[in-house]
Chain A
């Protein structure tokens, strides 16, 4: 079975003005159906790794394969298309377009992909929101919703084009425990029942514990799980 995400010796540096190594020689493999947590102290490079996996950033050395496709040589447009089709992002802050309703936000990537008509896109957006318990909120704008509701809209949007990969950067960072549990259960379902790869950066021990596996990072490097102190 091909891994959905596979990196080989990925390194990313910034010169600002002295060189900062964000991600250092990272090798990892994530299979379909896996829910993986990325943990580590603040500033260790978790978000930076996620941007590389999501093709928002390019490594200086090393390579990233998405669903078996080597992405290093692809143009920006090709990488963007791959992201549109196969990767869904969820961030700590909901990151919805404030001018659009929940439904319109979720419909954006569907309409951009252009495989469905406008009304089909709206129907699919509505359906996704309903699955996440937001039937009544579909025509509300984000500023009229609670934090938990917004984050569920963001997940619905990440799922819009039925991507094989879900990337979350502290998606529960701003939520109470009840909402956190709701989202963790959704991530587990997405991985275990729907066979997607879910990668979730988190500080929350509970979220990390709910994952199938944890990737530990320290100073940009992936390190083995530390034994009990």
Chain B
């Protein structure tokens, strides 16, 4: 590669004599790359963190005993061509339950890395010391449910599995406990819409702002599946399946496939959070627009630098051509100039961006009195994107003046100089 070497030698010589302009151009790229790393580190970091929370908050897929489309009436099925009007169709009972749920559970468990658990959820009322509060009671299998969500991390005073030893146990949120004035170990009176009354003992409290935990709201409560079935007078009935997959991203596809096979409503976390995720897309578009603007400004710097170099060096261009350098060689010299500025700018920018990220990571931010660590994405990917973007913009910015340099007619210059 003697050829490239000699062109690079000329390019470096050009840059070296124009130290100040070169440094300014490098600095432009470096600032662009540095801010890119800081901004996208924060944005992708918080987004990843947010999505993880979305995924972890609840099971990846929840199967509910609802239909997406109302069931076709037998009369409509029987006479497909006929115009059938059906009146007075009433919805069935509220806590109906999933038919064939053991088979559905088995099907869900065949997915790679899947954990699946049945649950029976419904509305109950709790009474304590004369106060009544509505609750949404989830009857669960504590051992499996603990693997499905991060609820365990939010518990204080006990564990999910404590329910196994105490079928009359209940876990409620701390705010709800405060509202009715109950404490850990107190016994609540729980009544269901089926008219069943049951005394239940508080085994643990759910802390709303626990780190890395999961909180479904003040009025969510947990008990044993069997206990719930008794409360709702629905022995052996299950109205929800909770599924966690090895690969959370697969949830949407799996949900669609299994829903087509089994009916009912299989809601993936993606479906549940569609609106929020659309917002994230908008946020990303804004971020990349800002980044593109920064890099555009940086590439203006490169353009100006290379373009003045071309103007200054018209005589050198004529000499090179007279010596036997081709138009392509001349173009190469100036492309290399732009590339060198781009690479040097990216490297300085990496250092600058790392410093910015380090500063952000150490920023003492507190939310509601608790120190908050900014979720930052400091992965190699960010650096690769920033590097590739700055190189691409450097090449494009240098290409225009380099084309101009290649088009210089040496004879014009030689005549002018003689």
Number of B interface residues at 8 Å Cβ cutoff, please give it.
30
Q: Are A112 and B414 in contact (CB under 8 A)?
A: no
Q: Does B123 contact A (CB under 8 A)?
A: no
A169 to B327: give the CA distance in the assembly, Å.
23
Per-residue interface assignment for chain B, residues 380 to 393, with 1 indicating a CB less than 8 Å from any chain A CB and 0 otherwise: 00000000000000
Q: Are A104 and B415 in contact (CB under 8 A)?
A: no
Q: Does A85 contact B (CB under 8 A)?
A: yes
Whole-angstrom distance between the Cβ of B30 and the nearest chain A Cβ: 25
Q: Does A100 contact B (CB under 8 A)?
A: yes
Name which residue of chain B comes closest to A160, CB basis. Answer: B323
Q: Are B2 and A169 in contact (CB under 8 A)?
A: no
Whole-angstrom distance between the Cβ of B408 and the nearest chain A Cβ: 12
Flag the segment in A60-68, A87-95, A205-213 that touches B.
A87-95
Chain B interface, >50% SS class: helix
Q: Are B418 and A92 in contact (CB under 8 A)?
A: yes
A36 to B316: give the CA distance in the assembly, Å.
28
Q: Does B16 contact A (CB under 8 A)?
A: yes
Most buried by B among A99, A111, A114: A99
Q: Does B17 contact A (CB under 8 A)?
A: yes
Chain B residues within 8 Å of A111, by CB: 2, 5-6, 9
Most buried by A among B2, B3, B324: B324
Q: Does A126 contact B (CB under 8 A)?
A: no
Q: Does A2 contact B (CB under 8 A)?
A: no
Q: Does B210 contact A (CB under 8 A)?
A: no
Chain B residues within 8 Å of A104, by CB: 9
Q: In residues 56-112 of chain A, which contact B (Cβ within 8 Å)?
A: 56-57, 76-77, 80-81, 83-85, 87, 89, 91-93, 95-100, 104, 108-109, 111-112
A150 to B282: give the CA distance in the assembly, Å.
63
Whole-angstrom distance between the Cβ of A161 and the nearest chain B Cβ: 8
Q: Are B323 and A57 in contact (CB under 8 A)?
A: no
What's the A-B contact tally at a CB cutoff of 8 Å?
A: 87
Per-residue interface assignment for chain A, residues 135 to 147, with 1 indicating a CB less than 8 Å from any chain B CB and 0 otherwise: 0000000000000
Q: Does A157 contact B (CB under 8 A)?
A: yes
Q: Are A97 and B326 in contact (CB under 8 A)?
A: no
A108 to B329: give the CA distance in the assembly, Å.
12
A24 to B331: give the CA distance in the assembly, Å.
34
Name which residue of chain A comes closest to B328, CB basis. Answer: A77
Whole-angstrom distance between the Cβ of B392 and the nearest chain A Cβ: 28
Most buried by B among A91, A93, A112, A118: A112
Q: Are A56 and B324 in contact (CB under 8 A)?
A: no
A99 to B320: give the CA distance in the assembly, Å.
13
Q: Which single member of B324, B411, B414, B415 contacts A109 (CB below 8 Å)?
A: B324
Q: Does A47 contact B (CB under 8 A)?
A: yes
Number of A interface residues at 8 Å Cβ cutoff, please give it.
36
Chain A residues within 8 Å of B324, by CB: 80-81, 83-85, 87, 109, 112-113, 161
Name which residue of chain A comes closest to B12, CB basis. Answer: A99
Name which residue of chain A comes closest to B316, CB basis. Answer: A97
A109 to B186: give the CA distance in the assembly, Å.
94
Q: Does B14 contact A (CB under 8 A)?
A: yes
Q: Does B417 contact A (CB under 8 A)?
A: yes
Chain A residues within 8 Å of B415, by CB: 47
Chain A residues within 8 Å of B319, by CB: 95-97
Per-residue interface assignment for chain B, residues 296 to 321, with 1 indicating a CB less than 8 Å from any chain A CB and 0 otherwise: 00000000000000000001101111
B binding-site residues for A, Cβ under 8 Å: 2-3, 5-6, 9-10, 13-14, 16-17, 315-316, 318-329, 410-411, 414-415, 417-418
A binding-site residues for B, Cβ under 8 Å: 47, 51, 54, 56-57, 76-77, 80-81, 83-85, 87, 89, 91-93, 95-100, 104, 108-109, 111-114, 117-118, 157, 161, 169-170
Given contacts A93-B417, A108-B6, 7 further A-B contacts (CB under 8 A): A54-B322, A83-B324, A93-B418, A108-B323, A112-B2, A112-B329, A161-B324
Of the A-B pairs whose beta carbons lie under 8 Å apart in the complex, a sample of 17, sorted by A's number, is A47-B414, A56-B414, A81-B326, A83-B324, A84-B324, A87-B324, A89-B323, A91-B418, A95-B315, A98-B17, A99-B13, A108-B6, A109-B324, A112-B325, A114-B2, A157-B323, A169-B414
